[in-house]
């Protein structure tokens, strides 16, 4: 009782109780989050807070898991043993991130099985960025630098998110992400200092990954209806547009350092604002990819389901071994 394994009955009882949403409890909850207190698994919380978190954390977990696929694609083709080892380590980290986050979501009363099924049936969403193809080796550099870079911008403030298990998972994840971004930048640095073809490859990768990376921060604030409530509940700590701006400001000088051109004719330093101004994002494309129109959406899910199905014998063997051991210890 009261630990992190949610027994289903207790969770259901909790839900029934929450249906009424006792105003005194709601007020007490609002007071606690406003005072930056952490909410823990068995504390009372409004149903909408629980639902928002389950959705956000499980989507985040799915993104870590699906995110392994475009990189896994390149494991056997990495150009050196060192790059293979680095890429393998990064992919293994992403699996770990998925696991930390699934565990955090489970403390809210959902099960691992439900989440995996939602992902495999196509019901659950994951970050649209992983529905773009990785065409060349330079894409692996661009993913580390830009995609992990954008993820870090998003995740750093989440270390202080109001739900304790989510915040703790984010602390662990942030510690590991920095290596992901740096290995990507390092890879591109090597390419831009290589042959003209290699430099062109790096430029091409930046050209294709720049805008999708900016979209990772989500819709603009005025089209993001739940932002205000999530900010009040300290689920979100900064708005999509604030984080996007911070990412642009940090990344443009890095592109300059690589000698690469950001594919945005409107990009200019705004002395007065102390920030870069940048061009309009093509949100029609974003929503198309969210709807699963991305070139790779089907292939990603198929790869996920195949991995799950092909691993079934391992899970079955582990179950059989456990049953045999249990029987032996009974007999002894």
Partner 1 sequence: MSRDWPLWEVFVRPRGGLEHRHVGSVHAPDAEMAVRHARDTYTRRMEGVSLWVVRSNDITASDPDRSAEMFEPAESKIYRHPTFYDLPDAVKHM
Q: Which residues bind partner 1 (CB under 8 A)?
A: 1-5, 7, 40, 42-44, 89, 92-93, 96, 99-100, 103, 106, 111-113, 168-169, 172, 176, 312, 315-316, 318-319, 321-322, 325-326
The answer to whether residues 91 and 68 touch, using CB atoms and an 8 Å cutoff, is: yes
Which is closer to Fe ion, CB of 64 or CB of 238? 64
Residue 7 interacts with, from Fe ion, partner 1, none (CB under 5-8 Å by kind): partner 1
Rounded distance between C-alpha atoms, residue 321 and residue 309, angstroms: 19
Smallest gap from residue 152 Cβ to partner 1 (A): 17
Render 159-187 in DSSP notation, one character per residue: TT-SBHHHHHHHHHHHHHHHHHHHHHHHH
**For residues 328 and 230, what is the distance between their CA atoms, to the nearest angstrom?**
52
Look at residue 132 and give its three-state secondary structure.
Answer: coil
Q: Which of the listed partners (partner 1, Fe ion, none) does 148 bind, with a CB threshold of 5 to 8 Å by partner kind?
A: Fe ion
User: Which of partner 1, Fe ion, none does residue 97 bind to, with CB < 5 to 8 Å depending on kind?
Assistant: Fe ion
106 binds Fe ion (CB under 5 A): no
Q: Which does 47 bind (CB under 5 to 8 A by kind): Fe ion, partner 1, none?
A: none
For residue 268, the surrounding DSSP H or E stretch is strand 268-270
**Residue 60 is a binding residue for Fe ion (CB under 5 A):** no
Q: In the chain, how many H helices and how many E strands?
A: 15, 2
Q: Least distance in Å: CB of 141 to Fe ion?
A: 13
Closest CA to 261 of 203, 213, 210: 203
Measured from the Cβ of residue 70, the count of other Cβ atoms closer than 10 Å reads 21
Considering the complex, what minimum distance in angstroms separates the CB of residue 177 from Fe ion?
5
Q: Rounded distance, CA 211 to CA 101, Å?
A: 27
Which residue lies nearer to partner 1 by CB, 231 or 326? Answer: 326
CA distance 164 to 103: 12
Smallest separation (angstroms) from Fe ion to the CB of 151? 6
Q: Which listed option, Fe ion, partner 1, none, makes contact with residue 85 (CB within 5 to 8 Å by class)? A: none
Residue nearer to partner 1 on the CB measure, 168 or 182: 168
- Residues 126 and 296 sit within 8 Å (Cβ to Cβ): no
Binding mask 123-162 for Fe ion (x = CB under 5 A): -------------------------x--------------
Contact 15, 116 (CB under 8 A): no
Considering only 97, 199, 234, 236, the residue that binds Fe ion (CB under 5 A) is 97
Residue numbers at the binding site for Fe ion (CB under 5 A): 64, 94, 97, 148, 177, 180
């Amino acid at each position: 009782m009261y630990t992190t394994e949610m027994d289903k009955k207790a969770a259901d009882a909790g839900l029934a109780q929450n249906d009424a949403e006792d105003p005194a409890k709601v007020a007490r909850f609002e007071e606690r989050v406003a005072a930056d207190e952490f909410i823990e698994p068995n504390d009372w919380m409004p149903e909408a807070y629980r639902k928002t978190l389950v959705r956000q954390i499980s989507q985040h977990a799915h993104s870590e898991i699906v995110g392994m696929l475009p990189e896994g694609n390149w494991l056997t083709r990495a150009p050196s043993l060192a790059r293979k080892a680095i890429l393998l380590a990064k992919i293994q980290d992403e699996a770990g991130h998925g696991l930390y986050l699934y565990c955090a979501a489970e403390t809210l009363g959902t099960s691992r099985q439900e989440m995996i099924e939602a992902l495999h049936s196509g019901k659950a969403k994951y970050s649209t960025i992983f529905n773009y193809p990785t065409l060349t080796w330079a894409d692996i550099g661009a993913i580390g630098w830009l995609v992990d870079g954008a993820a870090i911008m998003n995740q750093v403030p989440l270390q202080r998110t109001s739900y304790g298990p989510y915040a703790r998972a984010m602390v662990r994840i942030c510690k590991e992400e920095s290596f992901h971004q740096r290995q990507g930048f390092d890879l591109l640095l090597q390419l831009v200092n290589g042959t003209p073809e290699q430099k062109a490859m790096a430029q091409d990768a930046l050209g294709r990954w720049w805008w999708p990376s900016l979209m990772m921060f989500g819709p603009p604030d005025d089209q993001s209806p739940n932002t205000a409530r999530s900010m009040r509940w300290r689920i979100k700590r900064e708005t999509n547009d604030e984080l996007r701006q911070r990412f642009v400001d940090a990344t443009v000088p890095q592109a300059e350092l690589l000698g690469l051109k950001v594919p945005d004719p409107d990009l200019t330093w705004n002395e007065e604002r102390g920030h870069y101004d940048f061009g309009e994002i093509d949100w029609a494309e974003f929503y198309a990819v969210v709807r699963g129109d991305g070139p790779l959406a089907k292939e990603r899910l198929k790869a996920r389901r195949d991995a799950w199905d092909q691993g079934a014998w391992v899970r079955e063997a582990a179950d059989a071994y456990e049953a045999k051991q249990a029987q032996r210890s009974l007999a002894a």
